[in-house]
Amino acid sequence: MNHHRQGRGSPLVLIHGIGSRWQVWQPILGTVGLHHDVIALDLPGFGASKGDGGPGDVPHLADRVTGFLAGLGVTRPAVAGSSLGGAVALELG
């Protein structure tokens, strides 16, 4: 999963809305990165992340994000999202 990571502190995952990509978070990354290890990602099929042939529904996307974060060794991050990303964030909660 394509992503951008910066900062230090407790992990914070940022998930974009439908039709967008991780760069939508660029205006806040510098500030938020002062306090958090920020991981802004491209959901499957968006930005530079390839689609995975899955259904593209919220539960599937949340499962993909969970697996991606596990691969990074990130457990129990704070999660924020916009639009579709907000729904994925709620599903992760």
pLDDT tens digit at each of 93 positions of the chain: 999 999 999 999 999 999 999 999 999 999 999 999 999 999 999 999 999 998 989 999 999 999 999 999 999 999 999 999 999 999 999
Number of domains in the chain: 1
pLDDT value for 40:
98
Q: What is the pLDDT of residue 18?
A: 95
pTM of the model: 0.96
The pLDDT of residue 19 is 93
CATH value at residue 30:
3.40.50.1820
Contacts 24+ apart (CB under 8 A), 55-62: 58/84, 58/87, 58/88, 58/91, 59/91, 61/88, 61/91, 62/88, 62/91, 62/92
Domain range holding 66?
A: 3-92
